[in-house]
Amino acid sequence: MHYGILHELFPSAKANEPLKRYTAWKIGGPADVLLEPRGAEELIEAVETARENGVPVTILGGGTNVLVLDGGIRGLTIRLARSLTNVEIEGTGVVADAGVLYPALANATAAKGLEGIEFATGIPGTVGGAVYMNAGAYGGETREVLDWADVYKPEGTDGGGEVVRMANTDLGFRYRGSVLHERPGWIVLRAGYTLVPGDAEELKARIKGFRKQRMTGSPNKPSCGSTFKRPENDYPGRIIEAAGLKGTRIGQLEISPEHANYFVNHGGGTARDALKLIELAKETVCEKLGVELELEVRVLGEP
């Protein structure tokens, strides 16, 4: 669809916006148009307009678990990090908008003496992305603390253009996944948690400990975090290292010598090279060790 038409439909969106600016990997071609809505209402309105005009919609949270291909994303891309960022805490109940950064939520709840989301300090994405991925770290997982999520189900996506409060048990949580993987049109708007009273100073110290662990254990270069999911009873980092792949480089992309499940971008890396390195790792690991690695990172857009 022509930019002029998209601009008319979504006047506050940025046209032809390079998405590498919005992804942790610093990779990704342009969005035809990128919208950072001011609130849930604007988001729903834009999605409705897109649906009525046959414009495809893609949601980005913090862009920390996506590989956006070099051709970019057609239609409307909506970025929620920095857009929907309200947090309400009442007693042990917490309601966080989809764009709230997970580490910020960990800090906010710990400061109020509420225990349960400290693990989120290691996860750089948003609340919405964490629901989508059932994100977890340090032995904790989103599904263990989340009560519900408000999900917008546009018409024609197994929903009737409504916001539905979905209970934890209806969200199909599994290791690094949820029912949202099977429902590409659904959008998480906010999430509710019930936490446990704790000691604020102890919780802050726990967060500090987790952060320290992260700073020593993972590379300090752009990446998507873990490239592959954990196979049963093993770690992709250990397996990729055992296959002799640490330090393997294609273009500006390298299998980190520090942690082999992190594929780091040395600057100006492309999705094409990232995919080549991913394929090489999968093939080599399968040939040498008989293990089928499965991608954790979500691939979006066009080559």
Ligand X SMILES: Cc1cc2nc3c(=O)[nH]c(=O)nc-3n(C[C@H](O)[C@H](O)[C@H](O)COP(=O)(O)OP(=O)(O)OC[C@H]3O[C@@H](n4cnc5c(N)ncnc54)[C@H](O)[C@@H]3O)c2cc1C
Number of residues that bind ligand X (CB under 6 A): 31
Query: For ligand X, which residue of 28, 30, 116, 122 counts as binding (CB under 6 A)?
Result: 122
Segment contacting ligand X by CB under 6 A, of 107-115, 130-138, 191-199, 243-251? 130-138
Look-up: residue for tokens 């678990």? Answer: 65
Q: How far is the CB of 91 from ligand X (least distance, A)?
A: 25
249 given a catalytic annotation: no
Element (DSSP H or E) covering residue 188: strand 187-194
Q: Which of residues 10-39 bind ligand X (CB under 6 A)?
A: 24
- Taking the C-alpha atoms of residue 173 and residue 162, their distance in angstroms, rounded to an integer, is 22
269 binds ligand X (CB under 6 A): no
Shortest distance (Å) from residue 129 CB to ligand X: 2
* Residue 300, H or E segment: strand 298-300
The residue (of 224 and 243) whose beta carbon lies closer to ligand X is 224
| Whether residue 176 lies in the annotated active site | yes
Name the strand (E) or helix (H) holding 28.
Answer: none
Q: Decide: helix, strand or coil at residue 55.
A: coil
Determine if 237 is a binding residue for ligand X (CB under 6 A): no
Assigned token pair, 301: 């857009």
Q: Which of 79, 143, 176, 230 is catalytic?
A: 176
Residue 19 is given by DSSP the state G
Token representation of residue 57: 């919609």
Active-site entry in 190, 226, 230, 256:
226
Helix axes 102-111, 200-217, angle to 10 degrees: 150
- Check residue 62 for interaction with ligand X (CB under 6 A): yes
Q: Does 185 bind ligand X (CB under 6 A)?
A: no
User: Would you call 296 a catalytic residue per the annotation?
Assistant: yes
Among 29, 30, 37, 61, binds ligand X (CB under 6 A): 61
- With CB under 6 A as the contact rule, the residue among 110, 114, 188, 291 that binds ligand X is 188
Q: Cβ closer to ligand X: 218 or 248?
A: 218
Tokens of 100: 């709230």
| Pick 60 or 110: Cβ nearer ligand X | 60
Site for ligand X in 67-106 (CB under 6 A): 80, 98
Backbone angles phi, psi at 249, to 5 degrees: -130, 135
135 binds ligand X (CB under 6 A): yes
Q: Which helix (H) or strand (E) holds 49?
A: helix 40-52
State yes or no: residue 125 binds ligand X (CB under 6 A).
yes
CB 147 within 8 A of CB 194: yes
79 is written with which tokens?
């970025």
The Cβ of residue 285 has, within 10 Å, a number of other Cβ atoms equal to: 21
Question: Which pair of tokens denotes residue 216?
Answer: 């020593």
Question: Which residues are near ligand X by CB under 6 A?
Answer: 24, 59-66, 80, 98, 122-126, 128-130, 132-133, 135-137, 180, 187-188, 223-225, 298
Active site residues: 176, 226, 296
